[in-house]
Chain A
């Protein structure tokens, strides 16, 4: 078995007005940073997965996102997986 860390980013779906993002964007502009725009605020979820390989770890994270970690009505997600270390049989 291998252990992976998953870094999951959850954001509001594009079609939904992100009021936090808008408020932060206005604040950036008032700080004289007019070149910055399209601010989207989301959340970051970090967890570990123990799985036989990258594909099954990926499937487990996807299932967690679809069932609990995100709500598809209002959120989108993406994630990256990094192998931590092999768990050797001793």
Chain B
């Protein structure tokens, strides 16, 4: 599996994302925001967390027009796997690769803590090693993570199984208290309709080995590996 991780000015989880992918056995390529081409044979592009362009104007709004985003959008439209984490999720929404938007947290505060996520759909390249309803413990760290979209878009996401991860209690119940930012329908992560683009607010790369307090985030990287291996076989 060949994974490219984009570094934008202000990215701060790019090294962690490369590390998480390498733990899953990936060959990792560092990509730069000014790149105008992608390395051949790339299977996955990760847009990492951070504060690209200082979060100026809106989170992800300026990164979305970085030269490499032209390549990323072409890669995604050609069926390539694109995974946006936190600020990467915000960039994917701004670029139109994912529906909806991420706005200021309900409590107006930056939230940095472990949360529980319930796996809502295991039939995707990002969740195929998980079991339906499995609960993962992964940290969030964001000020603008409240997922919002029109009622029609939310209904479409729910009906098409595009809601991949939902904020829940430790025993897997979506409640208002378990929702760290006020996201509609406790949404933590979604895919596009064709299941090759995924955005997730929590940080799986910060929960990729027991030393970090949880290795639950590896499920996402291992799912990508399994998907890529199955496609090669």
Contacts and interface: CB of A to CB of B under 8 A. Distances in A.
Q: Do A and B come from one complex?
A: yes
Interface residues of A, number: 12
B134 interface: no
A17 to B, nearest CB: 8
Given A12-B103, A19-B108, A20-B104, A71 B150 contact: no
A17 B106 CA distance: 9
Interface in A12-38: 12, 15-17, 19-20, 23
B233 interface: no
A20 B107 CA distance: 9
B108 A73 contact: no
Interface residues of B, number: 20
B161 interface: no
B58 A73 contact: no
A74 interface: yes
Nearest to A69: B57
B61 interface: yes
A87 interface: no
B104 A73 contact: no
A17 B105 CA distance: 11
Contacts of A16: 103, 148
Given A71-B94, A73-B93, A19 B57 contact: no
A19 B103 CA distance: 10
B65 A68 contact: yes
B64 to A, nearest CB: 9
A17 B107 CA distance: 12
Given A68-B61, A68-B65, A15 B101 contact: no
Contacts of B94: 71
A69 B150 CA distance: 20
A59 to B, nearest CB: 20
Contacts of B62: 68
A69 B57 CA distance: 7
B149 interface: yes
Contact of B150 (A15, A20, A23): A15
Interface string A71-90: 10110000000000000000
A73 B100 contact: yes
B101 A71 contact: yes
Interface of A: 12, 15-17, 19-20, 23, 68-69, 71, 73-74
Interface of B: 57-58, 61-62, 65, 93-94, 99-101, 103-108, 148-150, 182
Please name the 7 residue pairs, one residue from A and one from B, whose CB atoms are nearest each other, closest first: A73-B101, A74-B101, A74-B103, A19-B108, A19-B106, A71-B101, A16-B148
22 contacts: A12-B103, A15-B150, A16-B148, A17-B106, A17-B182, A19-B105, A19-B107, A19-B108, A19-B182, A20-B108, A23-B108, A68-B57, A68-B65, A69-B57, A71-B58, A71-B94, A71-B101, A73-B99, A73-B100, A73-B148, A73-B149, A74-B103
Given A17-B182, A68-B65, 9 more contacts: A12-B103, A16-B148, A19-B106, A68-B62, A73-B93, A73-B100, A73-B149, A74-B103, A74-B148
